[in-house]
Structure 1
Amino acid sequence: MHPAQLERTLTASNYARQVMQQLPELWKQDYAIDQFLPTLTTEQLDALVQHNLGCCTDEATWMQKSRQLRARLMLRWIWQDANELTSVVQLTRELSDFADACIRSAVVLAKQPLVARYGEPIGDDGQVQDLIVIGMGKLGAQELNLSSDIDLIFAFDESGATNGRKSIDNQQFCIQWGQSVIRLLDQVSADGFVFRVDMRLRPWGDGSALAISHAALERYLAQHGREWERYAWIKARAITGGKAGQLLMDMTRPFVYRRYVDYTAFAAMRDMKAMIEREVQRRHSEDDVKLGAGGIREIEFIVQVFQLIYGGARRELRVKHCLTALQRLGEIGLLEMADVEALKKSYLFLRRLEHAIQAMDDQQTQALPTQAEIQARIAQVLHFKDWPDFLQTLQQVRQVVSQQFAQLISDRTETVENNNNSESLSALQQKVDEPAWQLVQNFWNSSSIKKLPESARLRLDAFWPALTRILLKKQNPQLALTRLIPLVESILRRSVYLVMLVENQGALQRLVDIVSVSPWIAEELTHYPVLLDEFLSTDFELSSRRDLEDSLRQLLLRVERDDIEEQMRVLRLFKKSQVLAVAASDVLAERPLMKVSDALTDIAEVVLQASLHLALDSVYARHGLPKRSNGEVLTLDAAAFAVVGYGKLGGIELGYGSDLDLVFLHDVDEQSDTDGKKTISGMEFCVKVAQKLMSLLTTQTLDGRAYEVDTRLRPSGQAGVLVSSLNAFAHYQEKSAWLWEHQALVRARSIAGDLLVRQRFEHIRHQILTRPRDETWVKSEVRDMRQKMKDHLGSSREQQKAGIFHLKQDAGGIVDIEFMAQYAVLAWSGTNPDLARFSDNVRILNDTATAGCLSRSDADALTAAYLRERTESHRLALAQQSMQVNAADWFETRKVVCTLWQRLIDPAAIEGLDH
């Protein structure tokens, strides 16, 4: 023993001196070795408890030995804390591990006399029931302090009865079992106690049954669970109960972590904070370092409110330890890292102070001492010159915490006490036109409003003034209002969304701005309100391809392999929320067209790749894998199956409502059987994968469908097989395909699947496109196909005379430019093979200039026209307006396109452009 350490320990703790006097054997040599080990692992503490208590067969012996062991370890922990031989995190973890081990030992001992009297408790499934002890609060989070009580809840898995001669029901058995556990741990004897036990966090609190079944707890949380209980259950952890305990914890997760981004947590936090402040004032305990202003509880609130808001969507936030959660909030950007570091530093300081206070007399208190002598000793242990010096630092720490806490609340809410609906409605009536006002009146007089539960009505009453304040600042409020009212009606029964918007005024402002511009966005949110979760929490930055892949992979990891319905839900909501984020970014940040198309194409490709993996995994699980055509054994990552994208997907030009033109290719041995339990042929395997993939993407569910899929561009169209072998595809393209099918191949690109199949497709594509062709024949074919499209899809002669121009289908429109790019590849790549490198029109046009097939000015002029027309088509799609526009506004752009069309393909086409 070091004399200086001993002196410091005795300065830090009167309790340590008492232990040394009462238990002199602690100083014997055999104790000194493990007594002051720098750390004790979970396994070492388990072994220590088992060694001391495992042999006890009666309560009296167990109680004596457990209390002496506790005193021995408390001396060790106080010694280490006073001499800074341990960290706050290590110390609290060891205390918690010791509590766990004592609880498990007590549960084993307490059961024996009950079984002797009543027999084993048997569930409805015939299995012996265990007592599930749930640690709450600091025990659940493994953050116990030096003199913590332990918050427990007792549960059991299934109802039933004991199998003894004197049978009682399982609940009564578990109540008596729990009572014995409490007595073993909590009862004060000549040797002290092990842990003070607090059972008040159980359902219904004091006065309710001491133990509750899994089913009853599930009903309670679903029907009666209060917001403050969600905070409490964040830290809940099953200490005993094995698999039944873990299943019970899994059951509670949806109660704690809602599937949506949940801003109701702010209101609950404010209510709990106000309640705590009233209690602090009542007890005159403002100097409580846990509950007082700027104390430990405020740091925990900051962390937990973010966990409750975002934990449903962000799995990494579902942790129990405060510092771990705090670090992750910084890593994912919900808190600034500088703020995270400041809060961590404050938390560790306050916890160390808490330990110094409690070590003095082993008292469960967080109040600063009032006696001058104790103050001086604590200041000395914490390395301060004196108590005033310490108080100055403490004040700075509490100020940091208080500022963070105040900012959390003020950033998220705006007072609405001075507004009421009648005033809001009156102001709105003066600002909007008559049809919009009639819509408002119909809304407030509707039966759906009258039938609202009180809680939902209160939320609506808080939301409406907040919405009105924003609408009154708009030049044309009725536009946003008429689009928002259907959305509000759709979320009334899930009124938490109203809370989200009230609590996040910036998000409400963005929502009003966006729906003012885009009725398409308004309709998407109205039809699928769950999209509000992501929509309101996004920063509207375009996600990188890697971020999209990581995000979808994390979402799908949570879904069971055979839960097809949930897989579909995840795919649909991911696609819709990501596309919605792109649209919002497009509207608010005015993203360039190419960036928007790239982002929409990335989303589609990521969804396709994930869907293909799910489809392959599903078919593989039942049937195994076939062999490659050369006899090679396949794996899921190299299953000789690939997806090719045509059209807008292939050309990296997806719009908001684009469907996916897909072709499926394989390189398997069609005749060989798969290697699974239920064998099928290689061809059947490929067809099942394609069908499964299409089902995942196109099945209509409550969440809509992910994408519309068109497979008519496959060899022989609808008459052809759904999946083609590479050899069959190459043969068809060489021998049977029409020129328009080669036009389509210009915009084809491999998207997902087996790398070798994808590479082989790209090789086939290049070979087909670079074949020498007669330019005159190509012109004729392209011109005839284009004319058919104009006749079928373009504006009528009467519409053209009336000054209407269809941006896509009329002369000088988007399709003309696409056809010229395709003509360039088919006519000229035989002598300029680089023209067949890319599938998107912009890069094809650039390559025609590089190759000297078009002048740079002509290529640039076509590109500029193409981008202008496509940009306008995106805008019209978001505004849900027709592609038919005023021809006069597009005369110069059309003239550029038509002039080049006349020069390249059809000399007579310029006629009639003077409209």
Structure 2
Amino acid sequence: MAAPDNLPRPDVALEECERGFAQLGQLAEHCPESFRQSLGFVCACSSFFLGVLKRDPLLLPVLREMFEGPASGRNPAADLQQLVAEVADRDGLMRVLRQWRNREMAVITWQDISGRLDIDRVLTRISETAEAAVRVTLDWLFRDACRRWGVPRRKDGSVQNLVVLGMGKLGGGELNFSSDIDLVFAYLEDGELPGRNGTTYAEFYTRLAQSFVHVLDAVTEDGFVFRVDVRLRPFGESGPLVVSFDSCERYYQAQARDWERYAMVKVRAVGGDPEDGRAFERFFHPFVYRRYLDYRVFGELRSLKAKIMAELRRKERGDNIKLGPGGIREIEFIGQTFQLIRGGRNVELQDRRILVVLERVGQLRLLEHETASFLCDAYRFLRKVENRLQQYEDKQTHELPLSEDRRALLAYALGFESWAAFVHRLEYFRCRVHEIFTQLIAEPPQPASLELLLDCADRELAQALGGFEGSAEAIANALIEFRASPPVRRLGAGARTELQIVIGKLLAELAASRISDRACVFARVLKLLESIAGRGVYFSLLAENPSALSQLVRLAAASPWIVRLIAGAPILLDELLDSQTLYSPLTRESLGREADILVSSLASDDDEQLMLRLRQFKAAHQLRIAAADIMNFIPVMVVSDYLTDLAEVMIDRVLRLAWKSAAARHGIPPMAEETTADFPGFGVIAYGKLGGIELGYGSDLDLVFLYDGVASDAVTDGPRPISAAEFYARVVQRMVSLLTAEMLGGALYEVDLRLRPSGSSGLLVSSADAYENYQLQQAWTWERQALVRARFVAGDPKVGARFDAIRRTVLCRERDSRQVRFDVRTMREKMRENLADKRPGVFDLKQGVGGIADIEFIVQFGVLVSAAKHCEITRWTDTVRLLESLRAIKFLEPEQADRLRCAYCDYRSKVHRLALQEMPALASSSEFPEHRAAVQAVWKQIIEAPAL
């Protein structure tokens, strides 16, 4: 940022400017006044810049050209390559590198301080400068080493260069002005150089790396290129300077320390063989981004930060803007916390640039958007201060100056009118950053007691639980059984300690609650904790997040089904962290976007991981729906809407995967007409509860598959051609496999295909023509009843339109109402006889007299006998809107329709609640007397009445 014209310059700045102009002499004599002012301002703020300007005659023309016109098209990396190409020896290489580096850093200084580049671009330019120096230096030294000692080659005979991995800010493209560059040297394949001496590749690359570090790091009369830090390599300073891929793999899989994982967040190949570099990057990826949510990160970062603060206090460096409270490192820790915990699941967080990570943390609502934006602003401000401190003398410092003159000059260089104004702004950023950091990784509050119950003697447990009047003995017995279970006895010391904390907080939460049966809820949660004992990372989540444990207690008290859902997919515990999200199920569009991100983040050939993640996705959103349902945030009709939307999104994504797999092997069938559909000629039809938009928590999917617009014997256009009918059948088989395969979290959905033409003996997928012929000529009345609730849910819209036309044609045919009434009544009696619970005192909500099935049969009968004259009623497939349609055409009296609708909604609400309690859809015979009587009355009037 250039100093504003109206900004008063401190005396020291005026003196520096005047001294700078005097020392420039004739260099700037014929320059435009505005350019001279810019030079004077930068000279005042950076003695490094002034020194380079006086020593390097090529710098001023470069700056003037940049000042007077648009971007000049300079390519510093190409310039360096050309300069180095003319170098004959190592001394010449070192001299050229330093002169080039000083010139480029002076250019960046001028661009930065004069305001021609924002801080983001400045950091990128510094990183590009370092990377160019690394790449060009390594290439020159490698060629020189090959001439002297021989050429290392891979097993395939190709030349194998060393790989230079950039860590820290170099890896992230965020180098500050006088930063070290953190490097690790590695090579892919081991071997020996040809010749009698038998020099190993390890020896060759070690010599090369030593030369490389010396060329860049050594201080000569021209200065240095970049300070090189190689302590981040495996085993640190005690380890070999260069590591092979095999030794690297052994180290990071078995011996790497926690902080090394944080360092690897930014690892990037910056020199040497590009393909080998990418192989190393791929290797580090699973080490950094774990597939589970790793909440141990909080404790590890807390410990690392404590060590940093102890070191700062020891050296009295509280004004360190990098490591001090509210400094750059705390912002980086905040971003890395979310990356390390969630990066394995949220691929958006797998970025090396901290500003990008913070922006995405806000977009994902892991932090408030305002908080994430503030952290970005604070980071940019602190990095700008860091650069001004270092640009003054090209020294690696993060300490605020102590002298009045330097303070005044620093404030001036940053555009503040006084030191006090600058400090006020700095403290604003640092205080709030530290507050956010503390809130995020602060030690969670511990309960005053109850945390050592895992070690308490059995006879003392009930006494220790004396605050639980009436429940102490039951809770003590549950805890005794829990801690004696094999998974708990196998826990390591660290996981056991965290479990102690969780148990204590759980009991404290229960003690403060109004839950009536606290012992029952405690036992439910203990079962969950036992099921996740093998993955102690989830104990960390609950120990670190009291709000998550509180939500778990609330949900466990309301529904054992939810506890079982979480036990089957413990990753769902993460959903408990944000109550706003937990109780806000997503819309169909948002579900689709999340599903697309999930599928795109996984390897297309990793079926097991794909199916696992789809199950986790479904379970997470089922949890949101159930939580909102239990807490009465959404009505029962909306619960079914959400569950139906979720199922349709799953069907669509599974269809995409199945289609892609079949098309990759066989190509796709030729269509009679050109189409832009994703799944040309193929459609998925939903029957039953899915078709009626009435899914429950445990509902299966009644599906039928159709194809249209292609001849069944047409052949696909791929490498292994098959008939169109066989192609569509393979798509269906793959879909059913993905949906129904049993895994740790169970099946995605149970699928029922018996409603297809000819039932279980029929083809998996039918042509639309065959389906239409069957419905018109062969289908039974019950199959046409089922068609009332059928609808297109996925595939080619043209197939959907064809199905809608078939459905309308079938349902709108003229029928003998007496025959339909007889068939409907007969089918209902069979169902009631075979399916209903007839025990005394029990009302079967679904199959009992006056229950859900009676209402559905009345509606289906009404559609079948009325649609010929009122085809518009076939528009809907859900029972509630069909009731309204039958009322509109006067098939039902208004009072009849209202009573049936109220009964249907209340019954379904009860069924949902019972499902969440893992109880069958049964009520006491004393419940719903008015609803049952009303339904029976309508049944008698409509179904058992004389012919219409």
TM bucket (normalised to shorter chain) is over 0.9
TM superposition shift of 1:418: 6.0
1:854 equivalent among 888, 892, 905? 892
Match of 2:823 in 1: 781
Distance 1:694 1:447, change over 3 A: closer
Correspondence 1:103 to 2:103? no
Correspondence 1:471 to 2:510? yes
Question: CA separation in 2, counterparts of 1:447 and 1:854?
Answer: 62
TM superposition shift of 1:646: 0.4
Give the letter for the 2:670 counterpart.
K
CA contact (8 A) 1:141 1:320 kept: yes
Match of 1:822 in 2: 860
Structure 1: stretches of 5+ with no match in the other structure: 909-915
Question: CA separation in 1, counterparts of 2:45 and 2:591?
Answer: 54
Correspondence 1:396 to 2:462? no
Correspondence 1:687 to 2:729? yes
Correspondence 1:7 to 2:40? yes
Give the letter for the 2:193 counterpart.
T
1:353 equivalent among 374, 385, 405? 385
Q: For residues 730-879 of structure 1, what are the structure 2 equivalents within 5 Å?
A: 730-796=772-838, 799=839, 802-879=840-917
CA contact (8 A) 1:36 1:76 kept: no
Correspondence 1:515 to 2:542? no
Question: CA separation in 1, counterparts of 2:780 and 2:245?
Answer: 66
Distance 1:551 1:152, change over 3 A: same
Tell me whether 695-704 or 87-96 shows the greater mean CA deviation. Answer: 695-704
Provide, for residues 796-815 of structure 1, a one-character-per-residue CA deviation record: whole Å limited to 9, x for no partner: 2xx2xx32111110101110
Match of 1:449 in 2: 488
2:258 equivalent among 208, 212, 227? 227
Question: CA separation in 1, counterparts of 2:111 and 2:380?
Answer: 16
Distance 1:746 1:218, change over 3 A: same
TM superposition shift of 1:435: 4.5
Correspondence 1:16 to 2:49? yes
CA contact (8 A) 2:659 2:679 kept: no
TM superposition shift of 1:341: 3.1
Match of 2:650 in 1: 607
Question: CA separation in 1, counterparts of 2:88 and 2:935?
Answer: 95
TM superposition shift of 1:178: 1.5
TM superposition shift of 1:269: 2.0
CA contact (8 A) 1:593 1:871 kept: yes
TM superposition shift of 1:334: 2.1
Question: CA separation in 1, counterparts of 2:64 and 2:82?
Answer: 17
SS in 2 for 1:818: helix
CA contact (8 A) 1:120 1:164 kept: no
SS in 2 for 1:192: coil
Question: CA separation in 1, counterparts of 2:309 and 2:70?
Answer: 39
Q: For residues 331-410 of structure 1, what are the structure 2 equivalents within 5 Å?
A: 331-409=363-441
CA contact (8 A) 1:540 1:584 kept: yes
Question: CA separation in 2, counterparts of 1:417 and 1:175?
Answer: 56
CA contact (8 A) 2:347 2:601 kept: no
Question: CA separation in 2, counterparts of 1:127 and 1:810?
Answer: 78
CA contact (8 A) 2:349 2:361 kept: yes
Question: CA separation in 1, counterparts of 2:446 and 2:263?
Answer: 27
Q: For residues 158-177 of structure 1, what are the structure 2 equivalents within 5 Å?
A: 158-177=189-208
Distance 1:690 1:30, change over 3 A: closer
Provide, for residues 282-334 of structure 1, a one-character-per-residue CA deviation record: whole Å limited to 9, x for no partner: 11111111111121112222222122222222111211212222222222222
SS in 2 for 1:553: helix
Correspondence 1:460 to 2:491? no
Question: CA separation in 2, counterparts of 1:429 and 1:544?
Answer: 47
CA contact (8 A) 1:358 1:365 kept: yes
Tell me whether 744-753 or 391-400 shows the greater mean CA deviation. Answer: 391-400
2:534 equivalent among 486, 493, 496? 493
Provide, for residues 26-47 of structure 1, a one-character-per-residue CA deviation record: whole Å limited to 9, x for no partner: 34x4775369987688x82321
Tell me whether 868-877 or 53-62 shows the greater mean CA deviation. Answer: 53-62
2:362 equivalent among 327, 330, 345? 330
Match of 1:911 in 2: none
Give the letter for the 1:4 counterpart.
Q
Match of 1:897 in 2: 935
TM superposition shift of 1:472: 2.1
Match of 1:544 in 2: 587
SS in 2 for 1:277: helix
Give the letter for the 2:135 counterpart.
R
Give the letter for the 1:80 counterpart.
Q
Correspondence 1:721 to 2:760? no
Question: CA separation in 2, counterparts of 1:520 and 1:447?
Answer: 24
Question: TM-score under structure 1 normalisation?
Answer: 0.94
Provide, for residues 774-793 of structure 1, a one-character-per-residue CA deviation record: whole Å limited to 9, x for no partner: 22221111111000000001
Structure 2: stretches of 5+ with no match in the other structure: 1-30
What is the count of residue pairs matched by the alignment?
A: 899
Correspondence 1:306 to 2:338? yes
TM superposition shift of 1:877: 0.6
Match of 2:572 in 1: 531
Question: TM-score under structure 2 normalisation?
Answer: 0.91
CA contact (8 A) 1:805 1:884 kept: yes
Question: CA separation in 1, counterparts of 2:612 and 2:787?
Answer: 33
Q: For residues 579-598 of structure 1, what are the structure 2 equivalents within 5 Å?
A: 579-598=622-641
Distance 1:589 1:303, change over 3 A: farther
Distance 1:213 1:464, change over 3 A: farther
Distance 1:177 1:533, change over 3 A: farther
Question: CA separation in 2, counterparts of 1:40 and 1:166?
Answer: 52
Match of 1:142 in 2: 173
CA contact (8 A) 1:619 1:688 kept: yes
TM superposition shift of 1:763: 0.6
SS in 2 for 1:472: helix
Question: CA separation in 2, counterparts of 1:152 and 1:892?
Answer: 78
SS in 1 for 2:619: helix
Give the letter for the 1:654 counterpart.
L
Give the letter for the 1:277 counterpart.
M
TM superposition shift of 1:535: 5.2
Question: CA separation in 2, counterparts of 1:68 and 1:645?
Answer: 72
Match of 1:913 in 2: none
CA contact (8 A) 1:118 1:164 kept: no
SS in 2 for 1:645: strand
Provide, for residues 101-149 of structure 1, a one-character-per-residue CA deviation record: whole Å limited to 9, x for no partner: 1100111122123323442323456553332211111111111111111
Match of 1:277 in 2: 309
CA contact (8 A) 2:572 2:620 kept: yes
SS in 2 for 1:188: coil
TM superposition shift of 1:207: 1.3
CA contact (8 A) 2:677 2:797 kept: no
Question: CA separation in 2, counterparts of 1:533 and 1:36?
Answer: 56
CA contact (8 A) 2:453 2:500 kept: no
TM superposition shift of 1:612: 1.1
Distance 1:419 1:889, change over 3 A: closer
Correspondence 1:120 to 2:154? no
1:59 equivalent among 67, 71, 90? 90
TM superposition shift of 1:384: 2.4
Provide, for residues 593-629 of structure 1, a one-character-per-residue CA deviation record: whole Å limited to 9, x for no partner: 111101111111111111111111111111111223x
Distance 1:520 1:419, change over 3 A: closer
TM superposition shift of 1:480: 1.4
Question: CA separation in 2, counterparts of 1:389 and 1:623?
Answer: 70
CA contact (8 A) 1:456 1:493 kept: no
CA contact (8 A) 1:428 1:472 kept: no
RMSD over aligned Cα atoms: 2.2
SS in 2 for 1:232: helix
TM superposition shift of 1:220: 2.3
Correspondence 1:700 to 2:731? no
